[in-house]
Amino acid sequence: MTKIAGAFLGVLMAIAVPTALLATPSIGLTTVLNATTPSCLVPHGSGPGYNASIGNQQSGKSVCITVGERLLVVLSAGAPNASPWRAIHVSKSGILQIAPITLMFSRGTTATNFKAVRVGTVQLTAERPACSPVPSGAATCDTIEAWRATVIVRSSPNALPRPSGTGIVGLVTAGPTCPVERVGQPCPPRPVVAEIDVRNADGSTVASTHTDGAGRYAVSVKPGRYALAVITGTTFPRCPGTTVTVTPGSPLRTDISCDTGIR
């Protein structure tokens, strides 16, 4: 049986980037670049069972998702008689895991839904024969098309910081944020930027910290009983004093809900 190598003898692999992502999952991409993370695309467009999707057009690209998000990878063969993509391979275990999906895909489509379970970077790869299937006994070709994408999994922006040693972590929010919450118009609590003082039994401050823009805080203190005071510098939001007992081991999580005064 004659074998045709493709454009010239010795070519064993061709990199192909088909021009269209399958229409079923919607997608939008935003480029992100900062000092600690390589330039990457943040895919948008969610559906039932996934937070974002990528496809043929993202071959050779880097995409960023966060821990807990689900990424649907959809590779289209491009033509009804074209060879489909083989199973999508993950370069490293423990960062992405396969997540269930209930969507129906057209024939010739290869799709896998992944859930990001921890911070890290993996390569997703897939390949397929570049030539369409041929009848038995007919000439074949060995040219392979390859698809590759880098997935960078980052920590969730809502993840709490951790103190060194024992201490207290938490989230400070204020509500209500509107007089009446209506269906389709939720009024979630907003983060509070404030000073957090940790005081002992005689009222003296033994440690102090500030919340970040998301209302998160972390402070290191020795095991013991303390009172937390939230200092906003304004009348509202009004934050209650909170008594905590820090024990050896993992930091104690203490979220504080403040009153905005909106009625």
* 244 occurs within a structural domain: yes
pLDDT at 33: 40
Q: Verify that 23 and 137 share a domain, yes or no.
A: yes
CATH number assigned to the domain comprising residue 128: 2.60.40.2020
Q: Which amino acid is at 91?
A: S
- CATH number of the domain residue 231 falls in: 2.60.40.1120
Radius of gyration of the chain (CA): 26
Whether pLDDT at 51 is above 80? yes
Residue 64 lies in a domain: yes
pLDDT at 138: 58
Residue 15 pairs with which residues in a beta bridge?
Answer: 146
Q: Are residues 25 and 94 in the same domain?
A: yes
Greater confidence (41 vs 116) lies with 116
Does residue 203 share a domain with residue 87? Answer: no
For the chain, percent of residues with pLDDT exceeding 70? 78
- What is the total count of domains within the chain? 2
Q: Which of 29-38, 200-209, 249-258 has the weakest average pLDDT?
A: 29-38
Cβ burial of 233 (10 Å; 0-12, 13-18, 19+) is: exposed
Could you tell me the residue range of the domain that residue 81 belongs to? Answer: 10-154
Pairing of β 120-129 and β 144-154: antiparallel
Comparing C-alpha atoms, which of 45, 15, 7, 11 is closest to residue 28? 45
Same domain, 175 and 197: yes
Q: Is the pLDDT at 137 greater than 80, yes or no?
A: no
Strand partners, 182: 185
26: confidence class by pLDDT, cuts 50, 70, 90: very low
Give the Cα separation of 28 and 41 in Å (integer). Answer: 9
* 149 and 253 fall within a common domain: no
